[in-house]
């Protein structure tokens, strides 16, 4: 039977370890902080767009990149440095390791995105119409994006650069089909169908609902989808990592 205090302690210690070790790693800073800022400058600055309208989408993109940038790095890095084997020999389960990685990614996402939101509020008149929904968007958004990050690292071996390339191959297309640069209402046909398949669409929609009160779906649907995809990402990561264990790490 699972010992809950031991299990929770494992998550806590692993989260702390990840925060200390991985937040300042160059790939995390590059793809988690600098990249979304560059995207913001590239697409929004100097184009006479209403920044207030696009700000929820930008915040969702920031959250998406920051929260999903830590997870892909941790496991491959630890495997390369051979610390993963020691980690598994400690009294922690693989589930604690996965959840510790997800939590570290989520905290990074919340921290950086909050900073961006606060800094932006100084220059752009961004309002929050529904604070509860805004907090929920932050929590569910970071959880689902961090879980995606951990899932992306699961099938890989011990090469952080390969995993980062693979994770960007998945993450980059998502920002173009999720209503960030083209609002969902302006999408048609395949574009719209693809948008429905992207979890980021529901996060953008939830931020829109919280900040402008305008959304394509009900916030219940957005929250439900984000909870479901978070659970699916974590379960899939668990299955893949268990399979890796059977194959010999």
50, 82, 122, 123: which one contacts other proteins (CB under 8 A)? 82
Contact between residue 103 and residue 11 where contact means Cβ atoms under 8 Å apart: yes
DSSP 8-state symbol, 213 = S
Count how many Cα atoms sit within 13 Å of the Cα of residue 213 in the half-sphere of its side chain: 3
Task: Specify the stretch interacting with other proteins by CB under 8 A; choose among 64-72, 77-85, 122-130, 182-190.
Answer: 77-85
Residue 34's alpha-carbon distances to 29, 53, 84, 140, 142, in angstroms, are 6, 22, 28, 23, 18
38, 42, 80, 90: which one contacts other proteins (CB under 8 A)? 90
Nearest one of 213, 199, 208 to 147, comparing CA atoms = 199
Complex with other proteins: residue 239 or 249, whichever CB lies closer:
249
Subset of residues 1 to 60 that bind other proteins, contact rule: CB under 8 A: 2-3, 6-7, 9-10, 13, 16-17, 20-21
CA dihedral 4, 21, 28, 206 (to 10 degrees): 30
41, 42, 86, 118: which one contacts other proteins (CB under 8 A)? 86
- Tell me how far apart the alpha carbons of residues 71 and 101 are, in angstroms, rounded to a whole number: 6
Count how many Cα atoms sit within 13 Å of the Cα of residue 245 in the half-sphere of its side chain: 14
Contact between residue 233 and residue 171 where contact means Cβ atoms under 8 Å apart: no
**# residues contacting other proteins (CB under 8 A):** 28
CB of 152 to other proteins, least distance (A): 22
Complex with other proteins: residue 12 or 182, whichever CB lies closer:
12
Query: x-or-dash pattern for other proteins, window 187-226, by CB under 8 A?
Result: ----------------------------------------
Is 92 a binding residue for other proteins by CB under 8 A? The answer is: yes
- Tell me how far apart the alpha carbons of residues 70 and 92 are, in angstroms, rounded to a whole number: 20
Rounded (5°) CA angle 116-121-125: 140
Is 176 a binding residue for other proteins by CB under 8 A? The answer is: no
Return the residue matching tokens 């929770």: 8
Complex with other proteins: residue 164 or 195, whichever CB lies closer:
164
Complex with other proteins: residue 13 or 29, whichever CB lies closer:
13
- Which structure tokens are listed for 144? 């689902």
- Tell me how far apart the alpha carbons of residues 233 and 213 are, in angstroms, rounded to a whole number: 29
19, 51, 88, 124: which one contacts other proteins (CB under 8 A)? 88
Subset of residues 225 to 244 that bind other proteins, contact rule: CB under 8 A: 242
Task: Specify the stretch interacting with other proteins by CB under 8 A; choose among 38-46, 84-92, 133-141, 163-171.
Answer: 84-92
Sites of contact with other proteins (CB under 8 A): 2-3, 6-7, 9-10, 13, 16-17, 20-21, 81-83, 85-86, 88-93, 242, 245-249
């Amino acid at each position: 039977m699972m010992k809950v205090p031991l299990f929770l302690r494992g998550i806590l210690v692993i989260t702390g370890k990840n925060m200390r070790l991985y937040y300042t790693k160059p790939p995390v800073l590059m793809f988690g902080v600098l990249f979304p800022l560059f995207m913001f400058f590239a697409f929004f600055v100097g184009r006479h767009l209403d920044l207030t309208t696009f700000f929820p989408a930008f915040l969702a993109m920031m959250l998406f990149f920051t929260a999903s940038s830590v997870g892909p790095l941790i496991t491959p890095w630890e495997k390369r440095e051979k610390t993963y084997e020691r980690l598994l020999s400690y009294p922690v389960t693989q589930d604690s390791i996965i959840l510790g990685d997800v939590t570290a990614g989520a905290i990074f996402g919340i921290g950086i995105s909050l900073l961006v939101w606060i800094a932006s509020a100084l220059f752009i008149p961004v309002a929050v119409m529904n604070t509860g929904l805004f907090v929920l968007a932050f929590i569910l958004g970071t959880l689902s994006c961090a879980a995606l990050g951990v899932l992306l690292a699961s099938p890989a071996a011990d090469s952080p650069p390969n995993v980062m390339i693979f994770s960007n191959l998945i993450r980059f297309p998502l920002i173009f089909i999720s209503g960030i640069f083209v609002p969902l209402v302006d999408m048609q046909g395949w574009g719209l169908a693809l948008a429905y398949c992207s979890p980021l669409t529901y996060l953008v929609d939830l931020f829109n609902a919280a900040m402008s009160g305008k959304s394509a779906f009900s916030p219940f649907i957005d929250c439900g989808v984000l909870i479901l995809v978070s659970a699916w990402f974590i379960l899939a990561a668990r299955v893949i990592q268990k399979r890796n264990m059977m194959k010999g790490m």
